[in-house]
Structure 1
Amino acid sequence: MARGMDVRSLEDLLFVSHRTQHILTLFSGGLDSTYLLHKLSSLGCKVTALAVDVGEGIDHAELSRITGFFGVTLKQVDGCSTFVEQAVLPALQSNAQYLGMYPISSSLSRPIIAQIAVETAHKLGCGAILHTANQSQNSLRRLNGAIKQLGFTGFSGSPYEYSALTREEKIAELNAIGLGGFQSRSMSGDANLWVREYESGKLDNPEDFCITEDIYSWTSTSHPRVCDEMEIEFRGGRPLSLNGQVLPLQELIHKANYLAGSFQIGRYSGLEHLEGGEKVFEVREAPAASVLMLAYRTLETAVLDADLIREKITLEQLWVREAVEGRWFSPLKASIDAFIQQTSKAINGKVRLKLSTGSAQLAAIQASSALYLTDRDGWEKETAQERASRSLADMHGAHVPQPVRKLQGVA
């Protein structure tokens, strides 16, 4: 083993299999997780492949085809509701954007997946939790960090941390044992209900990359535009309705993705740092996140004191840092959560946005307990009169000093 209970290479798998009878591995049905099943299937211990849905859906037939090939147990868990309540809603209230540039994604989903994995491992009596993140994926430290912070004491980690194989090498080995269907892709992707993310392949080099329309899903130009306005209502910091229709939060986000996405709103691209400081280029689409965060911030400015907003903005980036660096369950993040949850109680009202290609513009604000003026001229007159009256009253009621008189007999 590389260190303690950490799994870091394919060679570590044999060591682990001799010390636990049941291994749980995260499984997406992609090449990396399938290749790991191939390696585990020859070790002689029980393996359960865990597929967690965080909003993108699960191809049951394909996952069953692959796990059936290796004689591995498939367990599917719908984690979307947990993801929305425990990750997306706090991220919305925290305006969770990487360096203020774009909505964070796997920083939100990985801790929830890890939480479900730890719960499942305890229920099944698994002595190891494996995943397939590698050195160039920030999911490596996010999954590793979350699993350890949740107190899992068995073996955990990714054998791809120290063992690097090309896609072609993995595909060739799987083809050789009769499992096909894995073709080289021009890039890789990760998706949940909040953000779709694309990287690698033709996006590898920030100095020479190619973004084509066909990579987009929610913001595809082929989607019909249903309406060019969105009205979002919040109650206690929680999105309540969309265009007058009260919806469960999960459904509201799904609908907002396609309403705003049809206008190509929420496309982002930029660099993100790895653990060692290197930068990797990524492309995202997050239409619902884009409009909901805009609406939320608008209501914040309407009802919160300016100094409170300034302090919250500072804490927002601390919140993002803890999430990005794999410290989702840290005491610092829990403390910031408490602060932000307190401010969210005042976020009540509606925001109307006007949609156009690539842009959502503020059209109206209607906030409860608002601090904004609705009649500026009237306020000017009333305030001037009030302050003038107060000044005059102060002047008339003020003590007027009398001349100092000399006492008799005193020079």
Structure 2
Amino acid sequence: MRSPLIRSFSQLDSLDPDLPVVTLFSGGLDSSYLLLRLRRMGIREVHAVSVDIGEDESSGYKRQIAEALGATIHILHRRAEFAEQYVAPAIAAQAVYLGIHPVSSTLSRPLIAHSAVALARALGAQAVLHTANRSQNTLRRLNGALTLLGYEGVFGSPYDLDPVTRDDKLAELRDAGIDLLAGRIVSGDSNLWCREFESGILDDPELHEVPEEMYTWSRPTALPGDTDTLTVTFEQGVPVALDGEPLPLTRLIERLNRRVGAYGLGRYSGLEHLDHGEKVLEIREMPAAWLLLSGYRHIESACLDAELIREKRHLEQVWTREALEGRWFGELRLAAQVFIDACAARTTGAVTWRLRSGGADTRSITVGEPLYLRDREAWEERSISAESAPFAPAAAPALVTV
């Protein structure tokens, strides 16, 4: 029989105080409060796992809070893995939610779950706990990933059926000597691909003015009239160089976030659905994603037949839906990935962009084996000549003089 899903704090009473527990730890209010509750319950061995994929919170900050609450902190450095195994496939899949915004936590949650399960198995842990609540899509993404990974212990979020008010969490942590979290006015999620904000002052879609200071990458720094020209090179579907300089994908994304964001590009706002159809507002900044997804499509269109791209666009939505619904490790997403990878293997070339305030324009699209025409008139002459050749009058036979 399958292990039960943890959905409330009362279910934690069934945990064995002598067996290890692994929690996903962001350093935020919810994950800090969970550590406090586990300490109060007498769980002797709590392991707080933080997967470093380029988030805002520093490792030192997380370590300070986790150790103050009696947990052993594990900082797992996964930036390169996140970029290469999760972001790169998303670029090839053009993973954009309903045409509104590129996906982000959809990509990070499977990696976080996979890392937590590997640690839990190594420790012989009885549980993997997280802190997503039912108004967060992370709930189904983490639970879905943990299910598909076949984790043997119990797992889930006690906040699902048992929410705790923000004020109560702050007060209890303050009583425990933790007073580092009170200044936050929104819930945030960040990685090297995206900075996302929701809840708090951004709860209401009908009124959600975002304070400019919340943005980091896309806060305009370019002067009026400034421009910047840059070239991104793709090899077999993967961005590999910026302005001719080979770069690991992590550094290429970091540089593009700054250079593209300097022109105020890469901001998104939109609604995303929850399990039962309700929708919540999410604000995000993704300057590198803004450029790379568009650049990829330009290279792809230069390399692949239009009918192939039409079929791929359908499978892109299948891929995105499966990943978004928590089925990253499911068979259907993996099957769609095979088709997308076959297309990516032929997607090699470079796009040159001219960045300007509020927008960007292509200046060059170059591939090695292009389907595009560089001289339409010359092509028309060749095409007409080749098509007309079978119908041309036969040449008169030459006269032979005897």
Where structure 2 has 5 or more consecutive residues not aligned to the other structure, the ranges are 397-402
Tell me how far apart the structure 2 counterparts of residues 128 and 9 of structure 1 sit (CA, whole Å): 14
2:383 corresponds to 1:383: yes
Describe the superposition over 1:138-186 as per-residue Cα deviations: whole angstroms up to 9, x where unpaired. Answer: 0000000101101101010000001111111110111122221221522
**TM-score, with structure 2 as normaliser:** 0.94
Tell me how far apart the structure 2 counterparts of residues 156 and 297 of structure 1 sit (CA, whole Å): 39
Q: Which amino acid aligns with 2:282?
A: E
Aligned twin of 1:361: 361
Shift in CA distance, 112/239, structure 1 to aligned 2, threshold 3 Å: same
Of 52-61 and 280-289, the range deviating more from structure 2: 52-61
Shift in CA distance, 65/132, structure 1 to aligned 2, threshold 3 Å: same
Aligned twin of 2:28: 30
Shift in CA distance, 141/393, structure 1 to aligned 2, threshold 3 Å: farther
Which structure: larger Rg? Answer: 1
**TM-score, with structure 1 as normaliser:** 0.92
Aligned twin of 1:182: 181
2:51 corresponds to 1:52: yes
Tell me how far apart the structure 1 counterparts of residues 128 and 222 of structure 2 sit (CA, whole Å): 40
Aligned twin of 1:292: 292
Aligned twin of 1:406: none
Q: Which amino acid aligns with 2:20?
A: H
Q: Which amino acid aligns with 2:298?
A: T
- Residue 132 of structure 1 and its aligned partner are, at CA, apart by 0.3
- Residue 29 of structure 1 and its aligned partner are, at CA, apart by 1.0
Q: Which runs of 4+ in 1 moved over 6 A?
A: 223-226
Aligned twin of 1:16: 15
Shift in CA distance, 282/375, structure 1 to aligned 2, threshold 3 Å: same
Tell me how far apart the structure 2 counterparts of residues 354 and 61 of structure 1 sit (CA, whole Å): 39
Secondary structure of 1:148 counterpart? helix
| Paired residues of 2:56 and 2:190 also in contact (CA < 8 A) | no
Shift in CA distance, 6/374, structure 1 to aligned 2, threshold 3 Å: same
Q: Which amino acid aligns with 2:285?
A: E
2:131 corresponds to 1:109: no
| Count of aligned residue pairs for this structure pair | 392
Percent identity (aligned): 44
Where structure 1 has 5 or more consecutive residues not aligned to the other structure, the ranges are 397-411
Describe the superposition over 1:32-90 as per-residue Cα deviations: whole angstroms up to 9, x where unpaired. Answer: 00000000002222110111111126523222221222221111100111111111000
Tell me how far apart the structure 2 counterparts of residues 67 and 44 of structure 1 sit (CA, whole Å): 16
Q: How does 1:5-404 map to 2 (within 5 A)?
A: 5-17=4-16, 21-45=19-43, 46-56=45-55, 58-222=57-221, 228-392=228-392
Q: CA RMSD in A?
A: 1.8
Secondary structure of 1:205 counterpart? coil
- Residue 4 of structure 1 and its aligned partner are, at CA, apart by 4.8
Secondary structure of 1:378 counterpart? helix
Tell me how far apart the structure 2 counterparts of residues 24 and 363 of structure 1 sit (CA, whole Å): 50
Shift in CA distance, 390/62, structure 1 to aligned 2, threshold 3 Å: same
Tell me how far apart the structure 2 counterparts of residues 326 and 123 of structure 1 sit (CA, whole Å): 24
Secondary structure of 1:141 counterpart? helix
Q: Which amino acid aligns with 2:24?
A: L
